[in-house]
Structure 1
């Protein structure tokens, strides 16, 4: 099994949370030659696929084809498997590019939580599991489980989970526990 880079993991994790497994837009800071190299490697591994962009739905473009059309990127089942999403789950995710797209856009519910694809057994997965509990987790509890310094735990919450994975994390002060963080 090929080991994913951090960038590849982020691209595929974000794609797993989007309708149709859309990999675009790419993460902030990934552009130019670095984006081309990363995407080319992911296409070569079979984790991403270039498909025709639906300009009526304003799909973000990966590249223009020159004839007034363009392509976008979607994560394949192999790409979702690479980040730990089971093939059964991947096949139940609707992919509008496999069928004729509906010309009428449908409003999407923003109330439903987005699934997050994280490799099992990692410290990031442990932190997400702690934050998903009804009682949430304090920085002290995260430090106890991971063995990290408190500033590293806070950095993972703000940078790794909120910014990179796009998780909605709430924080509230509780008597006797301090600030408790939860995935909303």
Structure 2
């Protein structure tokens, strides 16, 4: 019985000690990698890479500033207005992490 208890991790006793620092391979790390590229990333690109909805991506940007002090800046804003003035269909904004200093 003792061998069985030793093999099954207990909620009171973690199977492996946690290391400090962020986990590897998370969606948050993927978003930060996209935003650190020189060409930046659009909300649509990040949503496709993570499977998040567009509003979730924009909320993540707000959380970066609030919780981690990382500022996301607008690199380029492209507005598409057709001949019939259909509004912002096809418009997009390119974001990236602001350079320190």
Is TM-score (shorter-chain normalized) higher than 0.5? Answer: yes
Question: Which structure would you say has the larger Rg?
Answer: 2
Structure 2 matches for 1:76-155, cutoff 5 A? 82-83=20-21, 118-155=22-59
Question: 1:174 deviation in Å?
Answer: 3.5
Match of 1:165 in 2: 68
C-alpha deviation, 1:177, in angstroms: 6.4
Q: Deviations over 1:19-55 (max 9, x none)?
A: xxxxxxxxxxxxxxxxxxxxxxxxxxxxxxxxxxxxx
Separation in structure 1 between the aligned mates of residue 65 and residue 78 of structure 2, nearest angstrom? 21
Unaligned runs of 5+ in 1: 4-80, 84-117
Q: Give the C-alpha shift of residue 119 in structure 1.
A: 2.6
TM-score by length of 2: 0.63
Provide TM-score, normalisation by structure 1. Answer: 0.36
Inter-partner Cα distance in structure 2 for 1:163 and 1:127: 16
* Higher RCO, Cα 8 Å, sep 6+: 2
Residues paired across the two proteins, number? 72
Q: What are structure 2's unaligned runs of at least 5 residues?
A: 1-15, 80-89
